[in-house]
Amino acid sequence: MIRGLKVVIVGGGVGGLTLAGMLTRRGATVTVLERAPEMRQGFGLTMWPNAFLALRQVGGDDMYKAVCDVSQELSRLRYRLGSGRVVADIDINGTLVKQYGEPGYAVTRIELLQALASQAGTEVRYGADVVGATTEGTVTLASGETISADVVIGADGVGSKVRQAISPPGRPVPESRRLLGWQGVVPRLLTPSQTEAEVFFGPTGSSGMFPLPNGRTYWFFLDPNRERPQIEGWHQAIQTMVRETPAEAMHKDEARDRPADEHWGEGRVTLLGDAAHAFLPTAGQGACIAIEDAAVLTRRLERFDDPVTALRQFEDDRLRRVRRVLKISRRLHGMQQMKPAFMRHFGLIITPTAAITRMYGEPTYPIPEFLAGAR
C-alpha cells in the first residue's frame, strides 16, 4: 500500500524522478535529494518501447505525454560500415511499432529530466549531499541533517553512496568494464531525415547520429582519445558531424558498468537504476531500465502492505532481467571493439538483418508485466 508512505529518493536523475512521479500519484510523500547544485545537463540518449510502455501503464498518460513531447520519434535505423555500406536497415515502424505500438526515440538528457521533473509531484532538493544511510530507513546529509522514511531508494548512480552505506564489510566489488568516448549535439539535422538514425562502425568502434526535436542531431563516438575525438579514418559523415559541433556542445564520456549484486537492498533500503546495475551504453538501455525499475518497484509497493517485503520482491523480480541486459551490452561492446576491424566488418556483412535486429533489439522489448499495454 502506497498511500501515506514516506519515501526518500536519493538521486534526481531519470530513475529517481520517474519513481517520484509514480509514487506521488498514488499518495506517497516523497523527498528527492540530489547532490548536484542544479539539474545536470548531459547530452543525448535513446528510449525504447520497454520504457514507454512502463511509463504509460504506471506513470499514466500525463507522464507518458510529457516525455513524448520532448523526444524525437525514430522510424528507421541503419547500420553502416566505415565505407558507408549498409549492413542492416531496420524498419522500426515495421518491427517495434507493429508489435508493441511504440517506436524508438531520441532525447537530450536535460529535456527528459525537465519533463520528468514537471510530473514528479514534488520539488527536488538540489545540493543535498547524502553521505550515509541505514537499513532502518534514515539518510544523513553532509550538512548533518538526518531524514527518516518508511523506504529509502538509492538512485544515485554507479558510485552510489547509498549502496556503499548498506554494503556488508568485505563484500567483493564486481568487475566493471569501461568505455571511453565522446558525445555532442549539432544544431542542425545531419541524419537522412528527421526520423532516421544511423550507426557507423569505424576504426575505434561505433559512432551514431540520432535526430532530435527542432532539427538538431545527437551523436556519440567511441574513441579512447582523451583530448579530442580522432576522426581520421572514419566515414566523411562522421568527420562532418564532429567538426560541426561547437566545443561547448561536445562532451568526453567515460562510462562504466557494474553487475548487480545477488541482493542489492537490505531492510528499508533498495537501489534503482545505475546504483544497482550500471550498463555500458552499447545497448542504449541505461535510462530505459531505470524507468522499468521505477515502474516495477511502484507495482510491488502497491501489492504488498509491508514495504520491506515489497522491496525484496522487487529485487528478486528484477535480477534476471538486469543481468541479461548487462550480458547483452557487454557482448555488443566486444563485437564493436573486435580487432582487426575487417573481421568485425566481415561478420556484419554475412549476418542477416533479422539477426542484427534481434541482437540490438532484445533489450528494447517490453517485459511481460507491461505487455498488456501494447497497442
Largest Cα–Cα distance of the chain, in whole Å? 60
pLDDT at residue number 374: 53
pLDDT surpasses 70 at 185: yes
pLDDT surpasses 60 at 148: yes
Instruction: Please give the model's pTM, rounded to 2 decimal places.
Output: 0.94
Residues contacting 194, CB < 8 A, separation 6+: 72, 211, 215
pLDDT surpasses 70 at 373: no
Mean pLDDT of 219-237: 87
Rg of the chain on CA atoms, in Å: 20
pLDDT band for position 368 (cuts 50, 70, 90): very high
Q: How far apart are the first and last CA of the chain?
A: 29
pLDDT at residue number 337: 75
Distance CA 276, CA 155 (A): 8
pLDDT at residue number 127: 97
CATH assignment at residue 361 = 3.50.50.60
Distance CA 119, CA 143 (A): 28
Task: Please indicate, yes or no, if residue 63 is contained in any of the structural domains.
Answer: yes
Task: Please indicate, yes or no, if residue 226 is contained in any of the structural domains.
Answer: no
Task: Please indicate, yes or no, if residue 91 is contained in any of the structural domains.
Answer: yes
pLDDT at residue number 229: 87
Report the chain's mean pLDDT, rounded to a whole number: 92
Domain encompassing residue 351: 6-177+256-373
pLDDT surpasses 60 at 375: no
pLDDT surpasses 70 at 184: yes
pLDDT surpasses 80 at 63: yes
* Of 20 and 172, more confident: 20
pLDDT at residue number 155: 98
The string of pLDDT tens digits covering residues 305-317 is 999 999 999 999 9
Task: Please indicate, yes or no, if residue 149 is contained in any of the structural domains.
Answer: yes
Distance CA 281, CA 283 (A): 5
Q: How many domains is the chain partitioned into structurally?
A: 1
pLDDT surpasses 70 at 14: yes
With beta carbons less than 8 A apart as the criterion, state whether 260 and 219 touch.
Answer: no
* Of 263 and 337, more confident: 263
Sheet holding 104-108, edge to edge: 44-47, 104-108, 72-74
pLDDT at residue number 238: 93
Distance CA 132, CA 315 (A): 21
CA atoms within 13 Å, Cβ hemisphere of 263? 11
Amino acid at 108: T
The string of pLDDT tens digits covering residues 97-131 is 988 999 999 999 999 999 999 999 999 999 999 99
Task: Please indicate, yes or no, if residue 115 is contained in any of the structural domains.
Answer: yes
pLDDT at residue number 356: 78
Task: Please indicate, yes or no, if residue 18 is contained in any of the structural domains.
Answer: yes
Q: How many residues does the chain have?
A: 375
The string of pLDDT tens digits covering residues 233-253 is 899 999 999 999 988 888 888
Amino acid at 154: G
Distance CA 285, CA 262 (A): 21
- Ranking 3-17, 246-260, 270-284 by mean pLDDT, the lowest is 246-260
pLDDT at residue number 249: 86
Distance CA 339, CA 252 (A): 23
pLDDT band for position 345 (cuts 50, 70, 90): confident
Q: What percent of the chain has pLDDT over 70?
A: 99
Task: Please indicate, yes or no, if residue 203 is contained in any of the structural domains.
Answer: no
pLDDT at residue number 106: 97
Q: What percent of the chain has pLDDT over 90?
A: 72
Distance CA 284, CA 36 (A): 24
Task: Please indicate, yes or no, if residue 229 is contained in any of the structural domains.
Answer: no
pLDDT surpasses 80 at 225: no
